[in-house]
Chains A and B, each alone.
Chain A
């Protein structure tokens, strides 16, 4: 009686394992394994801690970690000099930066897939500029939502980001149905200039609000609060979930819109949903961090070299890479001329414009 029982368990276990193995061999995994996700999360957390520690005043890692840990579990905080720097200034800022980086990066990756265009990005297409017009209009005319101070600029930024995207795409489609790389970038550049002129016009008339407005044109995350962090975190969670759920459709679009239609993708619906998610996320990012250029261009491009173009891998990897990149860029902008602080957009644009030229040239050469 005793042996069969063990034997049955053994056989069942073996069947489970082999079955599981066969299953795994049969369907090759398209996405990442849980371990890969764990490692990427770890990388983001390490970067976060590093960026919180470093700065004009360096705080030992051990103190930082214990301080944050105690704050999280609600224990009594030691009354050190670092407390306010870490918990009130750097931590909310770095979290915001991480989310903005992840947001801009996944938006760039999704746009590049949807439009089949490796140069598409919130900044190159002029979506970010559109969003800043909205945010600035809201400030200049005092649009606000009662009870949620940043709500006005944020909502306006989202609406204008979407409008900008619609205008740019409508113009591009009229010119060239296949939406070739060059057409859409050209229209994006023109739209950015147009948006720039409108922003300058508003600045001229804005008077005392000039300083707040200038912030949007340069991009900076200094002075971010936990409210900001929660807002961008929530927007990111929702929009990223939407975009990730469309990985397969984005693969189809990346191969070609007609091909997507032929295999049964509801092209119109998917496009609309993805574009709304992208504009919403870019809108929120811009209303919190201003226009931070090129993150969505550089990061997905570099990620694609490692993961390949399959969005099941590209989108998640872009999220993590974007967060790490922007946190480091923000750190650089804080320390490079310390105690002066550079706008973060200066750092990202510097790296980004060089990458843009590189991609542009290599993609032209590749087309034979």
Chain B
């Protein structure tokens, strides 16, 4: 098991955000954390990645995550958060290079050729080679998020955690990101945990899923078994399948005179 949580709970005062959640992530798995707003999806990520206070245990490779040194942890665990504003005009390459921070030795060690190779590959994979010298301040939202994706890929973690990385980004970029991460898993055999809102994306790319509602784990396991009609209906309080079909049918009816043709 790469990552395992045992009875993970998060409370703020009397408020229980996350209640007794246990799950594990194995190799080559892409786990989708899904659930309505306020279900505690991001809380899991915060507890695991930022050390937000929690009770219970989080184990990484069988060892308590709190016992890791920060660079050790970064070599095992990469996190792609929702993009935030950058205030200074670092170049794309400078940002991506920082992904190798956890591998740098003491003060005097210089960058190794190995570092360069990882940076190059990450730039290549994310299609940022041509933008490498551009300031991050001038990038579009999608390009900026791709820069941070490249950074976390250069970090070469064994487990990648994505906290709604495609929020506020358009469909094309969503598709690109998910396809890219998928090929990264195939190439490297690593695992991914991601928080997603879009159930179709979860179903299309995930191998496993965690369905959360009001801080509790409703179901976990292979995607097909978790994202069932019954489970989703009970959690979202509406027939999700029907709704999606209805949405899709809009396009079918329109197909003849669609403005997008």
Give A residues with C-beta under 8 Å from B: 26-27, 113, 116-118, 178, 181, 245, 248, 251-252, 254-256, 258-259, 261-267, 304, 308-310, 363, 366-367
- Kindly report which residue of chain A lies nearest to residue B161, judged by CB atoms: A262
Is the CB–CB distance between B98 and A252 below 8 Å? yes
Contacts of B86 in A (CB 8 A): 255-256
A363 vs B152: C-alpha distance in the bound complex, in angstroms? Answer: 28
Is the CB–CB distance between A261 and B88 below 8 Å? no
**One of B25-33, B69-77, B180-188 contacting the partner:** B69-77
- Does B49 interact with chain A (Cβ within 8 Å)? yes
A199 vs B58: C-alpha distance in the bound complex, in angstroms? Answer: 51
Is the CB–CB distance between A363 and B87 below 8 Å? yes
How many residues on chain B are close to A (CB under 8 Å)?
37
0 or 1 for each of B77-105: is its CB under 8 Å from A? (1 = yes): 01101001111111100110011011010
Given A245-B107, A252-B98, do A263 and B74 touch, yes or no (CB 8 Å)? yes
At the interface, is chain B mostly helix, strand, loop or mixed?
A: helix
Is the CB–CB distance between B137 and A366 below 8 Å? yes
**Can you list 6 A-B contacts (CB < 8 A)?**
A258-B50, A263-B99, A264-B72, A264-B102, A366-B137, A367-B85
Give B residues with C-beta under 8 Å from A: 49-50, 69-75, 78-79, 81, 84-91, 94-95, 98-99, 101-102, 104, 107, 110-111, 113, 116, 137, 148, 151-152, 155
Given A116-B87, A255-B86, do A27 and B110 touch, yes or no (CB 8 Å)? yes
Given A117-B87, A255-B86, A363-B87, do A263 and B155 touch, yes or no (CB 8 Å)? yes
- Kindly report which residue of chain B lies nearest to residue A312, judged by CB atoms: B94
- Kindly report which residue of chain B lies nearest to residue A366, judged by CB atoms: B137
A259 vs B79: C-alpha distance in the bound complex, in angstroms? Answer: 9
Contacts of B94 in A (CB 8 A): 251, 310
Is the CB–CB distance between B90 and A27 below 8 Å? no
Contacts of A304 in B (CB 8 A): 88
Distance between B136 CB and nearest chain A CB, rounded to angstroms: 8
Given A27-B110, A117-B87, do A262 and B152 touch, yes or no (CB 8 Å)? yes
Is the CB–CB distance between B90 and A255 below 8 Å? yes
Is the CB–CB distance between A262 and B79 below 8 Å? yes
Is the CB–CB distance between B89 and A308 below 8 Å? yes
Is the CB–CB distance between A266 and B70 below 8 Å? yes
- Kindly report which residue of chain B lies nearest to residue A249, judged by CB atoms: B101
- Kindly report which residue of chain B lies nearest to residue A116, judged by CB atoms: B87
Count contacts between A and B, CB distance < 8 Å: 83
Distance between B8 CB and nearest chain A CB, rounded to angstroms: 19
A262 vs B50: C-alpha distance in the bound complex, in angstroms? Answer: 8
Is the CB–CB distance between A264 and B148 below 8 Å? no
- Name A265's contact: one of B70, B75, B87, B113 (CB within 8 Å): B70
Distance between B112 CB and nearest chain A CB, rounded to angstroms: 9
Given A264-B71, A310-B94, do A248 and B101 touch, yes or no (CB 8 Å)? yes
Is the CB–CB distance between B89 and A309 below 8 Å? yes
A6 vs B104: C-alpha distance in the bound complex, in angstroms? Answer: 40
A178 vs B86: C-alpha distance in the bound complex, in angstroms? Answer: 12
- Kindly report which residue of chain B lies nearest to residue A248, judged by CB atoms: B101
Is the CB–CB distance between B90 and A254 below 8 Å? yes
Contacts of B50 in A (CB 8 A): 258, 261
Distance between A21 CB and nearest chain B CB, rounded to angstroms: 15
- Name B73's contact: one of A264, A363, A367 (CB within 8 Å): A264
Is the CB–CB distance between B70 and A264 below 8 Å? yes
A260 vs B79: C-alpha distance in the bound complex, in angstroms? Answer: 11
Contacts of B113 in A (CB 8 A): 26
Contacts of B79 in A (CB 8 A): 262
Is the CB–CB distance between B70 and A255 below 8 Å? no
Is the CB–CB distance between A309 and B98 below 8 Å? no
Contacts of B155 in A (CB 8 A): 263-264
- Kindly report which residue of chain A lies nearest to residue B75, judged by CB atoms: A264
Is the CB–CB distance between B116 and A26 below 8 Å? yes
